[in-house]
A and B are shown apart, each in its own frame.
Chain A
Amino acid sequence: MKKFYFVMALLIVASMILTACGTPAATEAPAATDAPAVTEAPAATEAPAATEAPAEVTQEDCVTEEVFCVGVVTDVGKVNDKSFNQSAWEGALKSQEDGVADLVQFIETADAKDYAKNIGTFGDAGFDVIVTVGFALGEATVAAAATYPDISFIGVDQFQAWEFDEDAANDVANVTGLGFPEDQAGFLVGALAAAMSESHKIGAVCGTDVVPPVWRFGEGYKAGAAYADGLNGTTTEVFVVYHSDVGFDKTFTDPEWGAQTATSMMDQGADAIFGCGGLTGNGAITAAAQAGKYAIGVDADQYLTLPEAAPRMLSSAMKLITPGVADLVAAAKDGSIKPGNFTGLAGYAPYHDLESEVPAEVNAMMEELNAALLDGSVTTNVPPVKP
């Protein structure tokens, strides 16, 4: 029996340690110790620095008034992830090329529990703007904003709810959330899907509609299809399915469900599938691509991030992070930046491999529509939240 208790104890301890490492929780994970090493390495030197100032600008100069420094803290992952992190970093690089920023640096977060530490590294170095990438960094960003009141924080995809509540105590003076008109992005790809569909049936597989951006993607998709129908004189049936039957912990991480739902839609004749909802959506996109239908991605150009689906990737409903970050950095420099929510721009990704399949008139319609959404002559009529 003694042996048994020993084995049990060993296993339980082992599994607890592994669990702690596997999920963002306390305890020191091996990866976390690597993180400071990244911070110390002046990553900016790797980047093709456009403005080679006569005297080399280093991180030490950031404390001075004259040197304008921008730091980017990524979500878990790398700055070359071809998605959010990369787009935000390119936004920072763009501001450097535009002569706005004198020094740009990034810290790649290796573990979710290092968010605060990584933001603090830039904060202590006296950076002028800190860009935090991704919804997950929202809390850490607002917390850091209180610690460093003189620094402007830009939270990519971080909705600042305090702007809308009554309690002034929650207000944060130096955080700007960069949000995106998801309905417009959905609208664009909805129109494209409807114009490209031969069966005049298209589908969207989304995460839960309780999350407003997801719902806006889905509703925008419907509205876009209807708009294209109006132009082309077609009638397109749009299936939008939200994964609302499970909790928040599962709704975005269920690729199997996404694939099954997409397959179900394709059984009923859908020949273009829009996957909007993290990994659940990715499952749908992959299933559509495998069936040889049109697959449409979300958030970033998923042609680059989902190699399995790339050959059938028609486009992606994009949040244009790069110009949004660059604009906000410029606003931070000239002092016109406002705390609260800033709405960036939406767009659609290039057709890549399917370029030759998209007829010239569809492409023309898309370009027109994109311009019309930008200048406001076409509106999606999607309310901000589900009524």
Chain B
Amino acid sequence: MDWRRFGFIALIIIVLFSVVVFIGQVKQPPLLIITSMLATTIAVATPLTLGALSGVFCERAGVVNIGIEGMMLTSAFFGWLGAIYSYHIFGFGNWTSIILGVVFAVITGALMALLHAALSVTFKVDQIIGGTVINILAVGLTGFLNRQLFFGQGSVFGGNVPGSPGVLQTLHIIPLTELFAPICGASEICLRNIQAINRVFDQKPIALAAILLVFISHYILFNTRWGLRTRAVGEHPKAADTVGINVTKMRYANVIIGGMFAGLAGAYFTIESVPSFEPLLTNGRGFISLAAMIFGNWTPIGAWAAALVFGSSQAMLINMQIFRDVIPPQLAFLQESYIVGLTPYILTMFILTGIIGRTTPPAADGVPYEK
């Protein structure tokens, strides 16, 4: 574990939270601010985390993937399309349609990744160019199909975007309120606090899955034979080949796994967050998740921590505007939202300069393997 890096990340998050609590405490109890921010942070970090995991799997196997953005966008579109078609055309129920939508998104991500794998492993294309192709393809494909299917002449839905079957609902997995209700008794404050804390744990399924997947990915990469082989292929493919590991197969498999993560991230946008698709709705989050991956030094937990930094800076931005009228004049510059908005990018640059420990990509990252 890279404690220096984690310490730095934790410090940044604490600073961001403290500023908001300091400013907002005149209006809201600190506990409420912290839990609300934490909940926002986790939700906002979800697509970034999944995107970063996608990057970790690809790059650990030696394939640079800058096409995450495109994979997310395509999956968001096809996931949403799948849900709509299942619901309106094939007449499935709400929940079946929503779950089919998620499945569609993940499959789309896998297919896009298959394309990337074919380009970069079989055809040995420059992987940056391959990723760019995916990004451009995604913008065109989704924009074109979105228009043709929903607004074009003779579209099934007659030019109107149909109502979607809805979104994934918040899960109440940890029954904090129920557990503490007898302990709190009649104490109003105690109950309110428990409810506030509960807010952090009440997340939607993909957000919870993302956190779970971080730890599963960590375990797979660092504690299983599969993980060892993946890393071997990414660090020194020739050596891996010598001991009988099929480099091509490993790379294909990992890129496709990565694509499925990106697909799940896409599902987050159109099936978990809001039930609609808009052209370009991923808004560069795929690239931010790449930054998170580098920030986290190509490890799942590191990438998650970095995604949380990005998430908390967005949570701070939102709260700064909510508390706009109580910001003390000395801190008024924080209202200029782009200053806070820049934090993640400035931090990434700091990380890249190596101030808080070196960032080392897998040695064979981006290098096609030639026997």
Interface size class of chain B, counting residues whose CB lies under 8 Å from the partner chain: 35 or more
Contact A18 B274 (CB under 8 A): no
With beta carbons under 8 angstroms apart, the residue of B273, B280, B314 that contacts A253 is: B280
B307: Cβ under 8 A from any A Cβ? no
Query: Contacts A76-B151, A240-B321: A81 and B278 contacting too (C-beta < 8 A)?
Result: no
Q: How far is the CA of A29 from the CA of B217 in the complex (A)?
A: 43
Report yes or no: A22 in contact with B143, Cβ–Cβ below 8 A: yes
Contacts of A34 in B (CB 8 A): 152-153
Contact A261 B318 (CB under 8 A): yes
Which residues from chain B contact A30 at a C-beta distance below 8 Å? 148
Chain A nearest CB from B136 CB (Å) reads 4
> Interface segment, B37-45, B54-62, B218-226?
B37-45
Q: Known contacts being A8-B125, A18-B141, A80-B160, is A263 close to B278, with CB within 8 Å?
A: no
Given contacts A31-B148, A260-B314, contact A245 B337 (CB under 8 A): yes
Q: Are A3 and B147 in contact (CB under 8 A)?
A: no
Asked whether any CB of chain A lies closer than 8 Å to the CB of B338, the reply is yes
Residue contact B141 to A255, C-beta cutoff 8 Å:
no
Contact yes or no, A14 B137, CB < 8 A: yes
Given known A-B contacts A110-B151, A264-B36, A282-B274, A18 and B137 have beta carbons under 8 A apart: yes
Name which residue of chain B comes closest to A239, CB basis. B322
Asked if A268 and B137 sit within 8 Å, CB to CB, the answer is: no
B357 at the binding interface (Cβ < 8 Å): no
User: For residue B279, which residues in chain A have a CB less than 8 angstroms away from its CB?
Assistant: 22-23, 253
Q: CB of B3 within 8 A of chain A?
A: no
- Interface stretch (choices B161-169, B181-189, B228-236): B161-169
Q: Let me know if A54 is at the binding interface, CB within 8 A.
A: no
Beta-carbon contact of A4 and B123 below 8 Å = yes
Contact between chains at A283 and B273 (CB < 8 Å):
yes
Check if B28 is an interface residue, CB within 8 A of chain A. yes
Q: Cβ of B47: which chain A residues have Cβ within 8 Å of it?
A: 256
Establish whether residues A267 and B315, one from each chain, have CB atoms under 8 Å apart when the complex forms: no
Least Cβ–Cβ distance between B210 and chain A, in angstroms: 14
Q: Is the CB of B276 within 8 A of A245?
A: no
CB pair A22–B322 under 8 Å, yes or no, is no
The docked-state distance in angstroms from the alpha carbon of A28 to that of B183 is 69
Q: Does A300 contact B (CB under 8 A)?
A: no
CB distance from B32 to the nearest CB of A (A): 7
Which residues from chain A contact B123 at a C-beta distance below 8 Å?
3-4, 7-8
Contact with B along A5-23 (1 / 0, CB 8 A): 0011001101111111111
Q: Is A16 within 8 A of B341, CB to CB?
A: no
Proximity string of chain B (321-358) to chain A, C-beta cutoff 8 Å, 1 when within and 0 when not: 11010000000000001101100000000000000000
B32 touches A267 (CB 8 A): yes
Question: How far in angstroms is the closest Cβ of chain B from A3?
Answer: 7
Q: Is the CB of B40 within 8 A of A260?
A: yes
Which residue of the partner chain, among A7, A15, A307, contacts B140 with CB atoms under 8 Å? Answer: A15
* CB atoms of B152 and A110 under 8 A apart: yes
Asked whether B208 is an interface residue with its Cβ less than 8 Å from the other chain, the reply is no
Asked whether, in the complex, the Cβ of A18 is within 8 Å of the Cβ of B269, the reply is no
Complex alpha-carbon distance, A267 and B160, angstroms: 33
What residues on A are CB-neighbors of B194 within 8 Å?
none
B7 at the interface (CB under 8 A from A): no
Contact B275 A22 (CB under 8 A): no
* Residues of B close to A12: CB separation below 8 A: 133
Given contacts A77-B151, A279-B276, contact A23 B139 (CB under 8 A): yes
Q: Let me know if B281 is at the binding interface, CB within 8 A.
A: yes
Contact A259–B40 (Cβ < 8 Å): no
Q: Using an 8 Å CB-CB cutoff, how does the interface string of B273-312 with A read, 1 for contact, 0 for none? A: 1111011110110000000000000000000000000000
Q: Which residues of B contact A203 (CB under 8 A)?
A: 322
Minimum CB distance partner of A33 in chain B: B153
| Residues of chain B contacted by A76 (CB below 8 angstroms) | 147, 151
The answer to whether A18 touches B140, judged by C-beta atoms less than 8 angstroms apart, is yes
User: How many angstroms from the CA of A308 to the CA of B276 in the assembled complex?
Assistant: 9
Residue A241 interfacial (CB < 8 Å)? yes
B319→A287 contact, CB < 8 A: no
A338 at the interface (CB under 8 A from B): no
Question: Does A333 belong to the interface (CB within 8 Å)?
Answer: no
B346 to A: closest C-beta gap in Å: 14
- A44-B35 Cα distance, complex, nearest whole Å: 57
- State whether the Cβ of A242 lies closer than 8 Å to any Cβ in chain B: yes
Which residues of A lie under 8 Å from residue B340 when comparing CB positions? 245
Closest chain-B Cβ to A261's Cβ sits at a distance in Å of: 5
Q: Are A31 and B153 in contact (CB under 8 A)?
A: yes
CA distance A267 to B283 in the complex (A): 25
Q: Does B119 reach chain A (CB closer than 8 Å)?
A: yes
Which residues of B in the span 1-56 have a Cβ within 8 Å of any Cβ on A?
Answer: 27-28, 32-33, 35-37, 39-40, 43-44, 47
A343 to B33, CA, bound (A): 42
A308 & B164 in contact (Cβ 8 Å cutoff): yes
Q: CA A244 – CA B275 in complex, angstroms?
A: 24
- Name the one of A16, A19, A283 contacting B274, with C-beta atoms under 8 angstroms: A283
A30 to B43, CA, bound (A): 39
Give chain B nearest CB distance to A299 CB in angstroms: 16
In the complex, besides A108-B159, A253-B281, 11 extra interface pairs with C-beta distance below 8 angstroms are A4-B125, A19-B143, A34-B153, A80-B158, A245-B338, A258-B274, A261-B318, A263-B39, A263-B43, A268-B322, A282-B276
8 closest pairs, A vs B, by CB? A22-B143, A18-B140, A307-B163, A267-B36, A19-B140, A78-B159, A245-B337, A4-B123
Q: List 27 A-B contacts (CB under 8 A).
A: A7-B123, A15-B137, A15-B140, A16-B140, A17-B140, A18-B141, A19-B139, A19-B140, A22-B139, A29-B144, A38-B153, A78-B158, A80-B160, A81-B160, A110-B151, A246-B341, A253-B279, A254-B281, A256-B274, A259-B274, A260-B40, A260-B318, A264-B36, A264-B315, A267-B36, A279-B278, A283-B274
